[in-house]
Every structure is written in C-alpha cells, then in structure tokens.
C-alpha cells in the first residue's frame, strides 16, 4: 500500500533529512516542508518542496491541501523559551490538525517525545497510560499535541499515531541513550507501521529500538506490530567507559535527562 501524497513537516531537521529518501517507499509523492531557511530545496523525483512556517495558519492550510497523510515532525525540537514553543509547536500542531480536518486527511503520525514523561525516574518502567510528566515547555507542547490528536480523533475520526521518540541519532552516546536509543532503520519501520496499520484511533507508542534495560513498555501499542531489529547494546562498551555521572545528576536520575533542568529562559 502507498499514499498518493504524503506531507513531511520538519524535513530540514535531523530526522527529517534522514527520512526524506526513506519515505519514497510509502507514497507516490512526498511533499517536504520546513522553514525556508533550513529546507534544502533540491527535490528528488518523488518530492515536492514547499517551505512553510507552522505558525502561519493559512500557509499550513495550503501546505496540507492535496495530501492524504501527514508525518508531522515540524516544530522546535528542544527546550526553548515559551513563546517560541507556542508559535511552532502549540499553534503549529493546531494548524496541522485543523488543515487535516478541512482537507479530509485521515492519518497523521505525530513526532511526540519521551519528554512528555521526562520526570519519571530512570528506575521506573512506564507505559503510555501512565500520567504524563512533561519536563519542560517542549515536553508540555508534545503533551498538548497528543491531546490535540485525541480530540481530532474523537470528534472527526482523524487517526494518529503519536510516537514518543526516545533518542534517535546514528549511535547511542551516553548511558541514558542506551535505554532510549532508536535507530534510523527502526524509526523508519515504526513510521511504516504507524502509516499503514488500520484502525489505530489515537495510539501512543514509545519510539525505541530493542534495547536492554528500557524504561518504557509498549503494551498498549501492540496492534501496530512494531518489531524493532536494532539494539543499543553495540554501543554499551564505549558508553560505559565514560565516567559515571553523580547519583543526583539529572542525566542519571530522570528519564528526560538534562531536559528536566534546562530553562526556563525568562529573566529571573
């Protein structure tokens, strides 16, 4: 199965760049979007390039026109002052869902984040039904995005898989990443499951590879059939050669790591 035209927001970001070529397998046409300043304009044959500021409601409406599914990675991806998060993430996700409703889009994959539950401790194992404990404005905006997804499913039947992405980089670089690393191949497979599994309603899934010592249980997302194939174990020796952080260091205490102690950026 394939979509006719899939929209990828955040196409100029770390994961967007990785996913651009990989999404060719999932749709005849991929419309790629980001702020003009970060969007590489060279389009592959299967791509349409359309710069857009997610804070601009009319521009997002035009962006979504003609698409039959959306992979929404766009927005601020780290902790930042509230006003920046408000524009790109909070208004942005509203604009995406409102445009999806207006244009009859039936499936969204929302790049949520582990920072929705970042204040759980690293000795706890949680699942997607546990209370959210966002670790900053960024995590809060992802929590809001998940609520938006639920609202638009309950009211309008637009289905979403919210992927609480762990740590998706070429390698697992520290102890925390050993638990939450998500390889690019496993991310791609999770996207495939999220785009093509029928009847997902609003499903929340943690995006992690088949790592040892994980903090997240995906029991409520079993219907996605996601079976990760990679593991952070290959990086363990190099990571464990690093000095052990102090027991009260946020990077060792909390699942959200440093995000639990970054900002606020407002003057004291």
Residue numbers at the binding site for ligand 15L (CB under 6 A): 77-78, 113-115, 167
Judged by beta carbon, residue 157 or residue 264, the one nearer ligand 15L is: 264
Q: Please report how close the Cβ of residue 77 comes to ligand 15L at its closest, in angstroms.
A: 4
What CA–CA distance (Å, rounded) separates 150 from 158? Answer: 9
Q: Please report how close the Cβ of residue 62 comes to ligand 15L at its closest, in angstroms.
A: 27
What CA–CA distance (Å, rounded) separates 105 from 6? Answer: 10
Judged by beta carbon, residue 104 or residue 264, the one nearer ligand 15L is: 264
Strands 3-9 and 159-165: unpaired
What CA–CA distance (Å, rounded) separates 206 from 170? Answer: 18
CA dihedral sign, ordered 171, 114, 108, 62? negative
Element at 93 (helix H, strand E):
helix 92-103
What CA–CA distance (Å, rounded) separates 136 from 172? Answer: 23
Going by C-alpha positions, the residue among 222, 204, 214 that lies closest to residue 180 is: 214
Residue 225 CA, distance from chain mean position: 18
What CA–CA distance (Å, rounded) separates 170 from 230? Answer: 12
Judged by beta carbon, residue 16 or residue 33, the one nearer ligand 15L is: 16
Catalytic residues: 138
Phi, psi of 254 (to 5 degrees): -110, 150
Q: Please report how close the Cβ of residue 114 comes to ligand 15L at its closest, in angstroms.
A: 5
Note the residue count of the chain.
268
Judged by beta carbon, residue 2 or residue 242, the one nearer ligand 15L is: 242
In eight-state DSSP terms, residue 86 is I
Q: Please report how close the Cβ of residue 258 comes to ligand 15L at its closest, in angstroms.
A: 8
Judged by beta carbon, residue 60 or residue 73, the one nearer ligand 15L is: 73
Q: Please report how close the Cβ of residue 166 comes to ligand 15L at its closest, in angstroms.
A: 6
């Amino acid at each position: 199965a394939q979509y006719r035209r899939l929209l990828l927001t955040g196409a100029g970001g770390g994961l967007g760049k990785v996913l651009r070529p990989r999404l060719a397998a999932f749709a005849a046409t991929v419309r790629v979007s980001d702020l003009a300043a970060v969007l590489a304009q060279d389009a592959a044959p299967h791509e349409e390039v359309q710069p857009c500021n997610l804070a601009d409601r009319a521009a997002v409406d035009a962006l979504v026109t003609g698409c039959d599914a959306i992979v929404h990675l766009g927005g601020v991806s780290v902790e930042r002052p509230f006003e920046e998060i408000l524009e790109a993430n909070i208004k942005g996700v509203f604009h995406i869902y409102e445009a999806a409703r207006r244009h009859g889009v039936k499936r969204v994959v929302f790049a949520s984040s582990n920072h929705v539950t970042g204040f759980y401790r690293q000795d706890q194992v949680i699942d997607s039904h546990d209370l959210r404990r966002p670790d900053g404005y960024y995590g809060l905006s992802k929590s809001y995005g998940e609520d938006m997804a639920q609202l638009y499913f309950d009211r309008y039947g637009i289905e979403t898989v919210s992927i609480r992405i762990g740590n998706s980089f070429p390698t697992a670089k520290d102890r925390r990443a050993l638990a939450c690393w998500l390889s690019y191949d496993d991310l791609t497979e999770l996207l495939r499951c999220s785009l093509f599994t029928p009847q997902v309603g609003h499903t929340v899934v943690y995006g992690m590879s088949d790592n040892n010592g994980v903090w997240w249980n995906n029991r409520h997302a079993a219907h996605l059939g996601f079976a990760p194939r990679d593991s952070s174990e290959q990086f363990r020796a190099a990571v464990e050669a690093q000095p052990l952080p102090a027991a009260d260091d946020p990077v060792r205490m909390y699942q959200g790591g440093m995000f639990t102690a970054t900002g606020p950026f407002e003057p004291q």
